[in-house]
């Protein structure tokens, strides 16, 4: 993109977007460490994921302050305005994803004390892995202003929804087979739901990429492939 | 900004419109083949870098360019369904009023400044009618309360912002339908500017207002539609909201976001 005549304006926009990327990096790490703590039954690591969430929250606050300052001082228009609106939105999405990662770590702490439900754990890892990749791509798409990649991410969220629906059925089955699995499966289900929600926030980041580039949010509302509300055991 | 619903550019029934307008100063062309529709009872702003032809275009609308000998105009401008070339220029300017960058009241009383137009156009039969007209124009110019007790003092003794509102009242006094304003706030402080903007907001209820401004924010605040000129060409014209949030042309984008275009 062309440079602004007032070069400080460019520096401001670059600084804000650098914060977004830093925040994105922390959130990616939070997901992957929360899942590593879960797989390796590492209480200490789970604890440290929970502790690191405040750094993510602080970055969101910083981004909002910077965005407010740019609006007040530079009255951004057109693409500049969309960038500023997007950083506010994207940082909120990242903050939510960070919260879900913290929740994963919290439940990991509880699950470590229980009997392992092997297959369910593996499926949960695959789901988390998929969302982690989506987030990584969403941040790349954000930096590159890559609409095609953003659209790809949005369509991949349907796969995440499908995986989540599959997991939900699996958990029901496990619980019906052996009532001793109920507590563990409930925790695993909440974790799966958290990861599925992360996917929604990643999708919203991808939508912001499209908004920055085209000035419009993708029009057709995605039909959520959540069939669990109609599930009959 | 104004409400989104108020901002749709309507090309139906333009109050005044240009087709294939070219303007030359001597051999040098300043405006190239401009088509522009201006709708009634709304504010249209003209923006663009210095020298892009905004003032030249504006001056064509009430044939002020006739007074510049080197200036020649071709193409057509239709005002109320008729070529402006077919109007008597003095009569045309009473229906298409103009306010300039620098407030330029006559060195006469406030009253006489406003009464000048109606007098020369023979719009009133007696002093009573003239009084009413002056009061009405000063009210529409949002300064009646400030000056009603000193109508006899000279207009040039007012503050800059008051002088500019007096000039607007003077322009309104001949009951024009279109008001042209060429950077009406550039010589004013922020308070006086805000007062003029508030006034423009009121004027759009009764007039077709066309304003040239160098302030992006002013264009965004006061106008429903915006035309962006660049090197004498009309690059983009549309709803102000669209121009300032998501313009179609990269040159518009560069200009309004303050990039080197
Ligand atoms: N009286 C004149 N004689 C010769 N050339 C002129 C005259 N008036 C304007 N021009 C030229 O015509 C072009 C358009 O000028 P114009 O005043 O319309 O620009 P503008 O967009 O109003 O600029 P600004 O924002 O600086 O007022 C410029 O190149 C200018 O030098
Ligand atoms: Mg000018």
pLDDT band for B6, please (50, 70, 90 cuts).
Answer: very low
Residue A210, SS3 per DSSP: helix
- In a domain, residue A223? The reply is no
Per-residue confidence (pLDDT) for residue A118, from 0 to 100: 74
- In a domain, residue A231? The reply is no
Listing DSSP states for chain B in one string gives ---GGGG----SSEEEEEEEEEEEETTEEEEEEEEEEEESSSEEEEE-STTSSHHHHHHHHTTGGGGSTTEEEEEEEEETTEEGGGS-HHHHHHHEEEE-SS----SSBHHHHHHHHHHHTT--SSHHHHHHHHHHHHHHTT-HHHHTT-TTSBGGGS-HHHHHHHHHHHHHHT--SEEEEESTTTTS-HHHHHHHHHHHHHHTTTSEEEEE-S-HHHHHHH-SEEEEEETTEEEEEEEHHHHHHS-SSHHHHHHHTTB--
| Residue A122 to residue A63: CA distance in whole angstroms | 36
Q: Is B82 on the interface with A (CB under 8 A)?
A: no
Give me the mean pLDDT over the B202-222 stretch.
Answer: 94
Per-residue confidence (pLDDT) for residue B233, from 0 to 100: 98
B244: left (phi over 0), alpha (psi -120 to 50) or beta: alpha
Burial class (CB in 10 A: 0-12, 13-18, 19+), B22: middle
Give me the mean pLDDT over the B49-71 stretch.
Answer: 95
Q: Which of B125, B133, B117, B212 is nearest to B167 (CA)?
A: B117
Please list the residues that pair with B21 across neighbouring strands. Answer: B34
pLDDT band for A220, please (50, 70, 90 cuts).
Answer: low
- In a domain, residue A227? The reply is no
The nearest CA of chain A is from the CA of B244 a distance in Å of 5
CA B181 to chain centre: 3
The nearest CA of chain B is from the CA of A12 a distance in Å of 14
- Residue A40: CB atoms within 10 A of its CB come to 12
Q: Are B30 and B75 in contact (CB under 8 A)?
A: no
The nearest CA of chain A is from the CA of B218 a distance in Å of 12
Burial class (CB in 10 A: 0-12, 13-18, 19+), B28: exposed
Atom number, ligand 1, closest to the C-alpha of residue B28 = 5
Residues found in chain B: 261
Residue with tokens 């903050």: A95
> pLDDT (tens digit, 9 = 90+) per residue, A174-208?
889 988 889 889 999 999 999 999 999 999 999 99
The residue segments making up the domain with residue A32 are: 2-214
Q: Cβ of B259 and A216 within 8 Å?
A: no
> Separation of B67 CA from ligand 2 center, angstroms?
16
pLDDT band for B3, please (50, 70, 90 cuts).
Answer: very low
Residue with tokens 């000056």: B147
Q: Are B39 and B10 in contact (CB under 8 A)?
A: yes
> Separation of B53 CA from ligand 1 center, angstroms?
6
Residues found in chain A: 233
pLDDT band for A229, please (50, 70, 90 cuts).
Answer: low
User: Residue B169 pLDDT > 60, yes or no?
Assistant: yes
User: Residue B75 pLDDT > 70, yes or no?
Assistant: yes
> pLDDT (tens digit, 9 = 90+) per residue, A68-102?
999 999 999 999 999 999 999 999 999 999 999 99
Q: Cβ of B245 and A1 within 8 Å?
A: no
Collect all residues of chain A within an 8 Å Cβ-Cβ radius of residue B216: 75, 77
> Separation of A74 CA from ligand 1 center, angstroms?
28
Q: Is B219 on the interface with A (CB under 8 A)?
A: no
Window 141-170 of A, Cβ < 8 Å to B: none
Q: Is B254 on the interface with A (CB under 8 A)?
A: yes
Ligand 1 and B213: CB distance under 6 A: no
- Token duo for residue B241: 């909201």
| Residue A87 to residue A70: CA distance in whole angstroms | 12
The ipTM, to two decimals, is 0.72
What CATH number matches the domain at B4-104+176-256, 3.40.190.10, 3.40.50.300, 3.30.1200.10, 1.20.1250.20?
Answer: 3.40.50.300
- In a domain, residue A196? The reply is yes
> pLDDT (tens digit, 9 = 90+) per residue, A33-70?
999 999 999 999 999 999 999 999 999 999 999 999 99
Check which CATH number belongs to the domain holding A94 and give it. Answer: 1.20.58.220
Q: Which ligand ends up closest to the CA of B229?
A: 1
Strands B71-79 and B43-47 come out as unpaired
Which residue of B22, B23, B27, B53 sits with most ligand 1 atoms within 8 Å of its CB, as the best mutation to test the pocket?
B53
| Residue A96 to residue A149: CA distance in whole angstroms | 22
Strands B225-230 and B43-47 come out as parallel
Backbone angles phi, psi at B19, to 5 degrees: -135, 125
Domain count, chain A: 1
Collect all residues of chain A within an 8 Å Cβ-Cβ radius of residue B246: 78, 82, 215-216
Per-residue confidence (pLDDT) for residue A109, from 0 to 100: 83
Which residue of B21, B23, B25 sits with most ligand 1 atoms within 8 Å of its CB, as the best mutation to test the pocket?
B25
Backbone angles phi, psi at B216, to 5 degrees: -55, -45
Q: Cβ of B245 and A9 within 8 Å?
A: no
Ligand 1 and B52: CB distance under 6 A: yes
Q: Cβ of B257 and A78 within 8 Å?
A: yes
Q: Cβ of A9 and B258 within 8 Å?
A: yes
Which residue of B34, B45, B55 sits with most ligand 1 atoms within 8 Å of its CB, as the best mutation to test the pocket?
B55
- In a domain, residue A226? The reply is no
Rg (alpha carbons) of chain B, rounded to whole number:
18
User: Residue B214 pLDDT > 50, yes or no?
Assistant: yes
What is the average pLDDT score of chain A?
91
Q: Is B220 on the interface with A (CB under 8 A)?
A: yes
Per-residue confidence (pLDDT) for residue B5, from 0 to 100: 40
| Residue A171 to residue A185: CA distance in whole angstroms | 6
């Amino acid at each position: 993109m062309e440079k602004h005549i007032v070069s400080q304006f460019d520096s401001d926009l670059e600084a804000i977007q650098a914060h977004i990327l830093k925040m994105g990096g922390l959130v990616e790490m939070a997901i992957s460490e929360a899942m590593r703590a879960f797989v390796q039954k590492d209480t200490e690591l789970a604890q440290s994921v929970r502790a690191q969430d405040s750094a993510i929250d602080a970055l969101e606050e910083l981004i909002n302050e910077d965005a407010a300052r740019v609006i007040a001082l530079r009255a951004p228009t057109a693409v500049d305005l969309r960038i500023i609106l997007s950083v506010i939105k994207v940082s909120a999405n990242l903050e939510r994803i960070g919260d879900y990662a913290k929740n994963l770590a919290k439940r990991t702490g509880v699950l470590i004390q229980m009997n392992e439900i092997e297959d369910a754990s593996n499926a949960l890892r695959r789901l988390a892995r998929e969302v982690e990749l989506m987030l990584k791509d969403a941040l790349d798409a954000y930096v590159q202003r890559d609409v095609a990649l953003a659209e790809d991410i949005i369509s991949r969220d349907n796969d995440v929804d499908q995986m989540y629906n599959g997991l939900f059925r699996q958990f029901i089955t496990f619980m019906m087979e052996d009532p001793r699995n109920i507590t563990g499966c409930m925790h695993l289900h909440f974790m799966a739901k958290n990861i599925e929600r992360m996917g929604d926030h990643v999708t919203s980041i991808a939508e912001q990429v499209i908004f920055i580039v085209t000035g419009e949010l993708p029009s057709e509302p995605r039909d959520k492939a959540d069939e669990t509300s109609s599930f009959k055991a | 900004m104004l409400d989104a619903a108020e901002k749709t550019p309507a090309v139906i029934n333009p109050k005044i419109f240009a087709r294939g307008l070219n303007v030359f100063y001597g051999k040098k062309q300043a405006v190239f083949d401009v088509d522009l529709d201006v709708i009634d009872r709304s504010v249209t702003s003209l923006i663009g870098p210095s020298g892009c032809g905004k003032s030249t275009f504006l001056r064509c609308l009430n044939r002020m360019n006739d007074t510049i000998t080197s200036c020649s105009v071709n193409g057509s401008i239709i005002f109320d369904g008729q070529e402006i070339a077919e109007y008597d220029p003095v009569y045309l300017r009473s229906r298409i009023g103009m306010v300039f960058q620098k407030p330029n009241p006559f060195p006469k009383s406030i009253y006489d400044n406003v009464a000048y137009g109606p007098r020369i156009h023979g719009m009133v039969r007696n002093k009573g009618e003239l009084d009413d007209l002056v009061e009405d124009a000063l009210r529409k110019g949002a300064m009646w309360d400030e000056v009603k007790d000193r109508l006899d003092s000279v207009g040039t003794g007012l503050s800059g912002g008051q002088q500019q509102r007096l000039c607007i009242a003077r322009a309104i006094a001949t009951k024009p339908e279109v008001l042209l304003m060429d950077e009406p706030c550039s010589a004013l402080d922020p308070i006086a500017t805000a007062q003029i903007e508030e006034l423009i907001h009121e004027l759009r209820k009764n007039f077709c207002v066309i304003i040239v401004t160098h302030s992006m924010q002013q264009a965004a605040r006061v106008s429903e539609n915006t035309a962006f000129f660049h090197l004498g060409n009309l690059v983009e014209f549309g709803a102000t909201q669209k121009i300032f949030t998501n313009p179609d042309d990269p040159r518009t984008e560069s200009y309004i976001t303050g990039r080197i275009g």
